[in-house]
Amino acid sequence: MNPELKLKLAQVRALLREHKADAALLGLQPNFSWLACGGEAHIPLNSNLSFGQFIVTAKGFYLFANRIEMRCLQDEVVKGLGAKPLLCEWHDTDSALKALKSVADPKRTLSDCGDWATTARPDLFAPLHYSLSETEVKRYRALGKAAEAAMNETCQSLQPGQTEFQIAGLLSERAWARNLTPVVVLVATDDRIKNYRHPRPTTKKLRKFAEVILCARQHGLIVALTRMVHFGPISKELRRRHDAVCAVDTELHLASQVGTPVKDIFRQAVAAYDAVGFADEWQLHHQGGPCGYQGRDYLGTPTADGVVLENQPFAWNPSITGTKSEDTILATHQGTQVITPATNWPMVRVEDEDGLWLRPDILVR
């Protein structure tokens, strides 16, 4: 058996024993991709549901899908994993329930989605993939490198007069060309940067300043990054604000050490905002949090329950009105590692008590 799958099945079965359940049903895309060892089973990009489901029992491992999807899943998504097919008809709910009941009692089945009258406990399954395996880390590094390349190439090609929709299209094209799914693409230009923290693209044309944001998925894993591009010299005030947000981002990165409570990292960030002269800015947008198989598993807050784990990804995204700093990092016992490192890009050097840290500067063109 695939060693990665063997470990993950053991995790699910341990959960079943702990909660005295007979079976687990996984139907949400993040959990499906995790157990599929990187296989993706999405159709609409605006849905978190996979188009097949896994069922795990004490001794069984099944792929549950209708006739439309089964062949594609077997040929392209879960090939080689050894999941036994449980086929149902797309038009016959009774046949689906019968197939499920042939291997598990829905009333004694935990699920992440609540389908088929199972007990919905998504909170039990998400933590199983907070810490990435070494195999997943390799996939994640490759994803981060490709996402940064798509972003970098797009930003280097921007021209005044392009609409935000056109910029979003260029970024999406470059992501797809690298076998990445652009699950979030946000673009703001000029005044919209200071007005909106989540800027959906519009028909507005770029004049001097652009903010470009990407969340890209591959093998079920997601990275996030933001870059800023300015045509012509930037003002002293924008310089001050970007240096400040890079200092806050550095604090978040270097505080993300294995074993540290996430709420403590958040509180350090709030103190960092105050130290750089922008005490209230953290209240204007969330600061990000742990990620991996979701854009964010949960947000960092003053009361967040989580503790940083070995090989746990984070995407912090501090912002100060008019600018932002964001990359995806990995917490390890060797220290923080940037998964989406900027290449051939100007960098801000931030001196911290823990040493020198580099954050992407505003690209001036």
Domain co-membership, 72 together with 114:
yes
Give the model's confidence band at 150: pLDDT under 50 very low, under 70 low, under 90 confident, else very high.
Answer: very high
| pTM higher than the cut 0.75 | yes
Give the model's confidence band at 362: pLDDT under 50 very low, under 70 low, under 90 confident, else very high.
Answer: very high
Sheet strands (E) in 278-365:
288-290, 312-316, 319-320, 323-324, 327-332, 335-338, 347-352, 355-360, 363-364
pLDDT of residue 28: 98
Which whole number is the average pLDDT over 115-142? 97
Q: What CATH number is associated with residue 11?
A: 3.40.350.10
Which whole number is the average pLDDT over 171-185? 98
pLDDT tens figures, 25-80: 999 999 999 999 999 999 998 899 999 999 999 999 999 999 999 999 999 999 99
Domain co-membership, 171 together with 197:
yes
Between the CA of residue 98 and those of 28, 90, 283, 344, what are the distances in Å? 21, 13, 51, 57
Q: What CATH number is associated with residue 291?
A: 3.90.230.10
Which whole number is the average pLDDT over 177-184? 98
Domain co-membership, 239 together with 268:
yes
Q: Would you say residue 229 has pLDDT above 90? A: yes
pLDDT of residue 352: 77
Spatial distance between the Cα atoms of 185 and 168, rounded to a whole number of angstroms: 6
Domain co-membership, 124 together with 149:
no
Of 43-47, 81-85, 115-119, 205-209, the least confident: 43-47
Instruction: Examine the fold and report which residue of 68, 102, 129 is the final residue of a domain before the chain moves on.
Output: 129
Domain co-membership, 219 together with 359:
yes
Tokens 């989580």 belong to residue: 306
Instruction: Examine the fold and report which residue of 81, 102, 129 is the final residue of a domain before the chain moves on.
Output: 129
Q: Would you say residue 255 has pLDDT above 90? A: yes
Domain co-membership, 158 together with 281:
yes
Spatial distance between the Cα atoms of 26 and 126, rounded to a whole number of angstroms: 11
Bridge-based pairing state of the strands 327-332 and 335-338? antiparallel
Domain co-membership, 328 together with 214:
yes
Domain co-membership, 91 together with 166:
no
What is the percent of the chain where pLDDT is above 70? 100
Q: Would you say residue 86 has pLDDT above 80? A: yes
pLDDT of residue 353: 77
Count of the separate structural domains present in the chain: 2
pLDDT of residue 101: 96
pLDDT of residue 355: 79
What mean pLDDT, rounded, does the chain reach?
A: 97
pLDDT of residue 316: 98
Instruction: Examine the fold and report which residue of 114, 129, 144 is the final residue of a domain before the chain moves on.
Output: 129
Give the model's confidence band at 1: pLDDT under 50 very low, under 70 low, under 90 confident, else very high.
Answer: confident
Which whole number is the average pLDDT over 314-335? 98
pLDDT of residue 354: 72
pLDDT of residue 51: 94
pLDDT tens figures, 262-319: 999 999 999 999 999 999 999 999 999 999 999 999 999 999 999 999 999 999 999 9
Give the DSSP H/E element, type plus range, for residue 213.
strand 209-218
Spatial distance between the Cα atoms of 25 and 42, rounded to a whole number of angstroms: 17
- Locate 344 and state its tokens: 């051939």
- The alpha carbon dihedral of 277, 280, 285, 286 has a sign of positive
Domain region containing 79: 3-129
Domain co-membership, 357 together with 248:
yes
Domain co-membership, 281 together with 257:
yes
Domain co-membership, 98 together with 196:
no
Domain co-membership, 292 together with 245:
yes
